[in-house]
Amino acid sequence: MMKHKGCSASTVGFYLMVVGGLNWGLTGLGHFASANLNLVNVIFGGMPSVEYGIYLLVGLATIMSLVGCKCATCKASCGEAATCSHAEGCSCGDCARCTAKK
C-alpha cells in the first residue's frame, strides 16, 4: 500500500478515504449481486448513530483531502511534488508543485 506522508489527521483521513472508497465499491457490487456488501452497515448496522458517524468522518476526510491540510507538518512533507498531500490545484507557494508554477 502507498505510504502517506503528513500529519496524523491527514494520515487518518487518507485511510478513511481508502476504507470509504472500498465500501462504496462493495456497496455497488452488492447491488448487482443482490447482497448487502456495505461493510459499514453490516458491522455497525445495529448502531445507526455509529454507522452515520463513520459516513460523516469519511466525508470530512474527503473534504480535508480536497482542500489540503495547511499544518506545518504537511507543508514540510510537501518538499517533493510526487509526495505532495495538497490537492492538485494547490497554490500554497511552499511545495515543489507550487514553486514549479512560478
* pLDDT tens digits along 45-96: 889 999 999 999 999 999 988 888 878 777 777 654 445 556 666 666 666 6
Strand ranges inside the chain, DSSP E: none
Q: What is the pLDDT of residue 96?
A: 60
Cell of 74: 504537511
Q: Convert the pLDDT of each residue in 30-44 to its tens digit.
A: 999 999 999 999 999
Q: Is the pLDDT of residue 4 over 70?
A: no
C-alpha cell of residue 21: 472508497
Helices 48-67 & 8-32, crossing angle to 10 degrees? 120
